[in-house]
Chain A
Amino acid sequence: MKLTGKKTAPYRYLAPTILLMIVFMVIPICMVIGYSFVDKAVVSQNPQFVGLENYKTIFADNEYIGAISNTIIFVVVSVVAHLILGMLFAMLLNSKYFKSRTKTIARVIYILPWVFTASVVAILWKLMLQPSGIVNYLLSIFPQISRNTEWLSNSSIALAVICFINIWCGYPFYMISILAGLQGISGDLYESAAIDGSTAVKSFLHITIPQLKPILISIAMLDFIWTLQSFNVIWMLTGGGPVNATETLSIYIYKKAFQKVDYSMAATAATILLVVCIFIAVFYVRQQKKVRE
Chain B
Amino acid sequence: MVGSYKKTTKVIVSILLILGGLFSAFPILWMVCSSLKSNSEIFSWPPKFFDKTANLSSYASVLTDSTKVRFFINSYIVAGCVVLLTLFVGILAAYAFSRFDFPGKGVFNSLIVSVQAIPPIVLLIPYMGLIVAMKLFNTYFALILTYLITTLPYCILMMTGYFNTLSRELDEAVMIDGGSRWKALWSVLVPISIPGMVSVGMYTFMQAWNEYLFALALTQTTDMRTVPIGINLLMGQHAYDWSQMMAMSVLGSIPVLILFIFFQKYFIAGMSSGGVKG
The chain A residues found within 8 Å of chain B, CB to CB, are 7, 9-11, 13-14, 16-18, 20-21, 23-25, 27-29, 31-32, 35, 42, 88-89, 92, 95, 97-98, 102, 106, 108-120, 122-128, 130, 132-134, 137, 168-169, 172-173, 176-177, 179-180, 218-219, 222, 225-226, 228-229, 231-232, 236, 250, 253-254, 257-258, 263, 266-267, 270-271, 273-274, 277-278, 280-281, 284-285
CB <8 Å contact, A281 and B93: no
The reply on B43 being an interface residue by CB < 8 A is yes
Asked, given contacts A10-B100, A27-B130, A132-B45, whether A168 binds B119 with beta carbons under 8 Å apart, the answer is no
Tell me which of A9, A120, A132 contacts B249 (CB under 8 A). Answer: A120
Asked, given contacts A177-B271, A281-B117, whether A112 binds B24 with beta carbons under 8 Å apart, the answer is yes
B6 CB to closest chain A CB (Å) equals 9
Compute how far the CA of A119 lies from the CA of B120 in the bound complex, rounded to whole angstroms: 17
Which residues on B sit within 8 Å (CB–CB) of A228? 119
Tell me which of A24, A122, A168 contacts B123 (CB under 8 A). Answer: A24
CB <8 Å contact, B235 and A123: yes
CB <8 Å contact, B17 and A92: yes
The reply on B57 being an interface residue by CB < 8 A is no
Tell me which of A28, A112, A117, A253 contacts B126 (CB under 8 A). Answer: A28
Q: How large is the interface on B (under 10, 10 to 19, 20 to 34, 35 or more residues)?
A: 35 or more
B51 CB to closest chain A CB (Å) equals 14
A-B CB pair tally, cutoff 8 Å: 262
CB <8 Å contact, B114 and A281: yes
B163 CB to closest chain A CB (Å) equals 11
Tell me which of B120, B123, B268 contacts A231 (CB under 8 A). Answer: B120
Asked, given contacts A112-B24, A112-B25, A119-B229, whether A253 binds B31 with beta carbons under 8 Å apart, the answer is no
Compute how far the CA of A35 lies from the CA of B213 in the bound complex, rounded to whole angstroms: 21
CB <8 Å contact, B93 and A13: yes
Compute how far the CA of A273 lies from the CA of B261 in the bound complex, rounded to whole angstroms: 36
CB <8 Å contact, A118 and B126: no
Compute how far the CA of A14 lies from the CA of B10 in the bound complex, rounded to whole angstroms: 55
CB <8 Å contact, A109 and B25: yes
The chain B residues found within 8 Å of chain A, CB to CB, are 9-10, 13-14, 16-17, 20-21, 23-25, 27-28, 30-31, 34, 42-43, 45-47, 89-90, 92-93, 95-96, 99-100, 102, 105, 108, 110-130, 145-146, 148-149, 152, 156, 181, 209-210, 212-213, 217, 227-229, 231-232, 234-235, 242, 245-246, 249, 252-253, 256-257, 260-261, 264, 267-268, 271-272, 274, 277-278
Asked, given contacts A110-B20, A115-B253, whether A125 binds B27 with beta carbons under 8 Å apart, the answer is yes
Which residues on B sit within 8 Å (CB–CB) of A273? 119, 121-122
Closest to B272 in A: A180
Compute how far the CA of A98 lies from the CA of B9 in the bound complex, rounded to whole angstroms: 12
Which residues on A sit within 8 Å (CB–CB) of B121? 229, 231, 250, 253-254, 270, 273
B104 CB to closest chain A CB (Å) equals 8
Given contact pairs A120-B249, A127-B245, enumerate 12 new A-B contacts (beta carbons under 8 Å).
A10-B105, A17-B108, A28-B125, A111-B268, A118-B228, A119-B252, A123-B232, A169-B278, A173-B277, A177-B274, A258-B128, A281-B114
Compute how far the CA of A280 lies from the CA of B148 in the bound complex, rounded to whole angstroms: 24
A40 CB to closest chain B CB (Å) equals 14
Tell me which of B117, B213, B217 contacts A278 (CB under 8 A). Answer: B117
Asked, given contacts A118-B212, A177-B272, A250-B119, whether A9 binds B181 with beta carbons under 8 Å apart, the answer is yes
CB <8 Å contact, B122 and A29: yes
Which residues on B sit within 8 Å (CB–CB) of A97? 9-10, 13-14
CB <8 Å contact, A110 and B156: no
Which residues on A sit within 8 Å (CB–CB) of B30? 124, 127-128, 134
Tell me which of A120, A229, A257 contacts B252 (CB under 8 A). Answer: A120
CB <8 Å contact, A117 and B210: yes
Which residues on A sit within 8 Å (CB–CB) of B129? 31, 42
- State the majority secondary structure of interface residues on B: helix
Compute how far the CA of A256 lies from the CA of B14 in the bound complex, rounded to whole angstroms: 49
Compute how far the CA of A118 lies from the CA of B206 in the bound complex, rounded to whole angstroms: 12
What 9 pairs across the A-B complex have the smallest Cβ distances? A281-B117, A10-B100, A13-B96, A28-B126, A117-B210, A229-B119, A31-B126, A119-B228, A17-B93
CB <8 Å contact, A20 and B95: no
B211 CB to closest chain A CB (Å) equals 8
Which residues on B sit within 8 Å (CB–CB) of A231? 120-121, 212-213
Tell me which of B45, B47, B212 contacts A232 (CB under 8 A). Answer: B212
CB <8 Å contact, B149 and A24: yes
Show 26 residue pairs from A and B whose CB-CB distance is below 8 angstroms, ordered by the A residue.
Answer: A10-B99, A16-B92, A17-B92, A21-B112, A21-B149, A24-B148, A31-B125, A42-B129, A98-B13, A106-B21, A109-B24, A111-B267, A113-B24, A115-B257, A115-B260, A115-B278, A117-B227, A123-B231, A123-B234, A127-B31, A128-B27, A137-B45, A137-B46, A177-B271, A225-B117, A266-B125
Closest to A36 in B: B125
Compute how far the CA of A177 lies from the CA of B34 in the bound complex, rounded to whole angstroms: 33
Compute how far the CA of A13 lies from the CA of B95 in the bound complex, rounded to whole angstroms: 7
Which residues on A sit within 8 Å (CB–CB) of B249? 119-120, 123-124
